[in-house]
């Protein structure tokens, strides 16, 4: 019983240390949701020193690039 209690407390402690509850969006999710893309882009642009290496900021950069390519392709048709 004591071992189970120690294991449970350890698991809760590790879960609490994560501190990052923000959903990580994929590039395709961001391309298909321009409002979320814009919101995250603004957050990343506002604090690039702290946020530029986060998964969402990296995915936003790729999603913006993909969106531009999609728009160029549509304009050429």
- Per-residue pLDDT tens digits for 12-67: 444 444 456 789 999 999 999 999 999 999 999 999 999 999 999 999 999 999 99
Question: What pLDDT is stored for residue 36 in this prediction?
Answer: 97
State the angle between helix axes of 34-46 and 55-76 in degrees (0 to 180), rounded to the nearest 10.
130
Mean pLDDT of 1-12: 54
Confidence of residue 2 (pLDDT cuts 50, 70, 90): low
DSSP helix, strand, coil percent of the chain (3-state; round to 5) = 80, 0, 20
The pTM of the full predicted model, rounded to 2 decimals, is: 0.69
Question: What pLDDT is stored for residue 77 in this prediction?
Answer: 85
């Amino acid at each position: 019983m004591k071992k189970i209690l120690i294991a449970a407390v350890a698991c809760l402690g590790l879960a609490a240390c994560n501190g990052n509850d923000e959903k990580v969006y994929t590039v395709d999710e961001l391309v298909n949701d321009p409002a979320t893309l814009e919101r995250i882009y603004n957050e990343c642009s506002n604090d690039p020193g702290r946020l530029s290496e986060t998964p969402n900021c990296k995915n936003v950069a790729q999603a913006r690039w993909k969106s531009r390519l999609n728009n160029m392709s549509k304009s050429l048709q």
